[in-house]
């Protein structure tokens, strides 16, 4: 069965710090990988996605993620965070019209 | 421009009183989903429609039903809401191309059960 693990439940950073949020998945077949962001009081928005090809994926707002097949990982990164990045971040794995979400990582940025 | 629209944004109902949440899309996507999201938790898939084919998740309570009268609209019916059904309900759509699929979410309807 598919599963997604986000090990960091709450991350607190200062502005301009670098960010890396971990995501590991369990699935034997071809998967689609996603990061979604949910800003306070807002709906889920797609940050980036990986289907195939270059394992380094660039998304919106300066975020990127790297698919490492051997590690079953799809970690999210940003070199310099801003206060406006405060949000909940969800990693998700999809296949066959079904997406499984991780439990989410809450990111808090100190001004 | 809104692509996935959910109405109402907030819904208050009484314990046991049936309630219907609606979702519409302007993307002409063939797949529509309903998720339940409780506070500080990941969205949980309730069911989805692939065109007219209904797919229920095994652990979705019978209390939850869905209708999709046409491509653009999908409804979530909660026949007898309990206090535990208070949550954010998210609608999503996607267009499946081969093995590639991206889901786009609506703003959600927050349900309060009194």
For residue B90, say if its preceding peptide bond is cis, omega within 30 degrees of 0: no
Whole-number average pLDDT of chain B: 91
> What is residue A57's predicted lDDT score, i.e. its pLDDT?
95
Query: What CATH number should be reported for the domain holding residue B57?
Result: 2.60.40.10
Over 70: is that where the pLDDT of A97 sits?
A: no
Q: How far is B104 from chain A (nearest CA, A)?
A: 7
Structure confidence at residue A30 (pLDDT): 77
Assess B43–A contact: CB distance below 8 Å, yes or no. Answer: yes
Could you tell me if A106 lies within 8 Å of chain B, comparing CB atoms? yes
- What is residue B1's predicted lDDT score, i.e. its pLDDT? 61
Q: Render pLDDT for A58-73 as a digit per residue (tens, 0 to 9).
A: 999 999 999 999 999 9
CA distance A43 to B32: 16
Number of compact structural domains in chain B: 1
Mean pLDDT of B61-89: 96
Region B18-39: mean pLDDT is: 94
Contacts of B90 in chain A (CB under 8 A): 43-44
Task: Name residue A12's beta-bridge partners.
Answer: A108
Alpha carbons A59 and A74: distance in angstroms, whole number: 13
CATH number of A3-100: 2.60.40.10
Q: Which residues of A touch B7 (CB under 8 A)?
A: none
- Sequence spans of domains, chain A: 3-100
- How far apart, in whole angstroms, are the C-alpha atoms of residue A61 and residue A55? 19
- Nearest-by-Cβ selection for A43 from B45, B50, B105: B105
8 Å CB contact between B45 and B35? yes
Contact assignment for A32 to B31 by CB distance below 8 Å: no
Domain range for residue B109? 4-113
pLDDT confidence of residue A14: 96
């Amino acid at each position: 069965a598919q599963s997604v693990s986000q090990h960091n439940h709450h991350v607190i950073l200062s502005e301009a710090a670098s960010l890396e949020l971990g995501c590991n998945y369990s699935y034997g077949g071809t998967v689609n990988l996603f990061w979604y962001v949910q800003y306070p009081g807002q709906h889920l928005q797609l940050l980036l996605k990986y289907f195939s090809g270059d394992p380094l994926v660039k998304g919106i707002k300066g975020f990127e993620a790297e698919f490492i097949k051997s590690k079953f990982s799809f970690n999210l990164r940003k070199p310099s965070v801003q206060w406006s990045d405060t949000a909940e971040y969800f990693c998700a794995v999809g296949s066959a019209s079904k997406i499984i979400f991780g439990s989410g990582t809450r990111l808090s940025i100190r001004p | 421009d809104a692509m996935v629209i959910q109405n109402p944004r907030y819904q208050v109902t009484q314990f046991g009183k049936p309630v219907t949440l609606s979702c519409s899309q302007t993307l002409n996507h063939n797949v529509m989903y309903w998720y339940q999201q409780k506070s500080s938790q990941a969205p949980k898939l309730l069911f989805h429609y692939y065109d007219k084919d209904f797919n229920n998740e095994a652990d979705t309570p019978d209390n939850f039903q869905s209708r999709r009268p046409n491509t653009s609209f999908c409804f979530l019916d909660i026949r007898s809401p309990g206090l535990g059904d208070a949550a954010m309900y998210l609608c999503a759509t996607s267009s499946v191309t081969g093995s590639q699929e991206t889901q786009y979410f609506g703003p959600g309807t927050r349900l309060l059960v009194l």
